[in-house]
Structure 1
Amino acid sequence: MLEVEKIDIEKTVLVGIITQNQSEDKLNEYLDELEFLTFTAGGTVVKRFTQKLERPNPKTFLGTGKMEEIAAYIQKFHVNTVIFDDELSPSQQKNISKILQAKVLDRTNLILDIFAQRAETSYARTQVELAQCQYLLPRLAGMWTHLERQKGGIGLRGPGETEIETDRRIVRDRIALLKEKIKTIDRQMSVQRSNRGAMVRVALVGYTNVGKSTLMNVISKSEVFVENKLFATLDTTVRKVVIKNLPFLLSDTVGFIRKLPTQLIESFKSTLDEVREADLLLHVVDISHPDFEDHIAAVNQILQDIKSNDKPTLMVFNKIDAYKHQVIEEDDLMTERTRKHYTLDEWKQTWMSENGTDTAVFISAVNKENFEDFRARVYEEVRKIHISRFPYNKFLYPDYHDAVEE
């Protein structure tokens, strides 16, 4: 049900609001990310619309004047897709569609669509379909006529295309069936995890598109799919890695993102179980991204949501080869120096002084810069866990640790 067909690149416009809790700068960051999501889904952004509001309009999200402005623009330039940065309620989506006479998506819908494109295995497709059905269920009343009007394209892959005549009862039955199917696969995957024995488990976590899969390929010498788009990896990949004769299991997990749909967290439970059951987390960060501190906070929030925020964690700041800081000239007395002006050395000192010298490593996975230092740090962390798990090795096999260290 999740077949992806080739489509022409869609012209889209993006919409966001400035509120007391979301400044203009923060909104622009979110819209930059939304534009990258749109590109990943196969669309091109031709314009952005923003409005300053105390709170979203409960009926149309935006004010009447701004809605009329958007309607005039999309009619003039033949734009058929409007994407909102925040999740719309079913009634808002229905009302906006009537006014704009165009396909209306929100951030959640867009992310679900990208997941539908990226799902390769039967399990991933099942998880995505469940998330889509849960999202669509409260929106059925307006969605079917909407889908009849707009065939194919961003946001319309998956169950929507083939179930236009479906009512809520059938969709609920489908959700129940998918949940049972996922439970069965979850049990199978749980058995697979238990069969891996007592080996130390290490999981790569981080924001989407930070280089986790590239790092996985380098450290495990495998060929995991890599692409400069969001959510290139959906299915968890597990590889056995050996550093200095010490073996452990390394898993590459789905990337996180700000405002990650709750439907996906629920349906990708088993994928996230790789994180829950890991002994050590390698939190990969794209330090070249201007908002990398926000990305760290977003990942930490999701780790807290899945009760995995207390695990031993090594921060891996990747892409140091691409890091650029804003330079302030010596005679510039007007510009206030902020964290955006930090050099890489200053970031190292700042992060390590705030969080401890053993919590971070700075690398370039592509160029293998500082890679031996990274391997040594991972080895030390895995070794600590290994010794705590097999304490008798020191006494029964006194030469074991010396052999491992050589």
Structure 2
Amino acid sequence: MNEGTKKESFHQGNLRLVLQQVINNAPISRIEIARNLGMNKSSITTLYNEVDEMGYLKEIGSGEASKMGGRKPTLVTINDNFGYTVSVDLGYRHLHIMSNLLNGKSVSYERIEINNRDIYKTIDIIKKQIQTIGAEMDTEKGLLGIAFSIHGVVHDNRIVKSPFWDIKDVDLKQIFEDEYHVPVVLENEANLSAVYERDFNAAQSDDNILSISIHKGIGAGIILNRNLYHGLKGAAGEIGSSLMFTNIDEQNQYNFEKVENFCSEDAIIERIQKQKKISGLDREGLEKLLHEKDKDAQRVVDLFIAAISRVIYNASVSFSPEKIFINSKLMEDIPGIFTAIQTTTKSLDMVPELYMTKRSNCATLLGACSIITHHVLGLDEYNLVFASQENK
């Protein structure tokens, strides 16, 4: 790298640091940016003006003058009218689609039932939703990027494995980049749930966290030293495919089953339906059975609590996180299950405090919003902190 290239790289890095300061600490003044970055005011003014010319900044008034007097500093925040991103959770039964401004604020959210599993028809639905969102938005630059939450293994922006969709040969990135001419990012849904906790919520001050998603399957998102850990070919966190010892048969053979056969929402419901010889059971029906103290339902749920507590323990021993988050609509609807898991894991060494992911239906979408916002701003390797959605 020659001297001119080094100088330009250093300059671009400083521009990104200024932009990071505005996103993370808004409202903020140039004086505060200079102080936080350890730069002189003249250098910050030059960088600030360049970032402002890009359209990313919005002045919102004056702050308090210093104790020494003088002019009040001008406060600035991110220009939320610059453009917007779209996030899509490609679920088993539903599509979840959200649009967000650059500050992470959600503008729209739609939950669409999927009546068939034809990926091309589903792509058409997504395109229609993006068109609807675009018609309702009035921003300076329009659509900036699209992110997909995938229930499966993702590597290099391609789907390696998806248990719910026949999608292996469908290049979502290419399809949507060709259609909209904006960056498109694909990421595993459990990973995005972990990113949500890191960038939006209670884990903003933690370097190492684990987010366990329990839906139709089960997976874990791993944040190590504030970075998302993917493992070999994106397969890290596929804990639903790990094996759990069940019993020894009559031939003294050890029997093992996949963790997700015990620890997924569908596994619980299927086992209860089998024991009670019923069909059509859903979360609401399960909640009713537990309220009525149905012994079959309680027995299956107790087995789930014991099994998932072991899974949490093993994951905690492996990764030693500061916090563990559980993303589960089932537990959000029936919080007594989460409380029982908390009680069980508190007696186990090396398991930190457990937390429920709030607004689990939006967690992966907001994680996707963070990923694509990082990308379109050129801040992939920078920590960004977005205000909690609860305050918006």
Per the shorter chain, which TM-score range? Answer: under 0.3
Say which structure, 1 or 2, has more relative contact order (CA 8 Å, 6+ apart).
2
TM-score, normalised with respect to structure 2: 0.27
Structure with more of its chain in strand, by fraction: 2
TM-score, normalised with respect to structure 1: 0.27
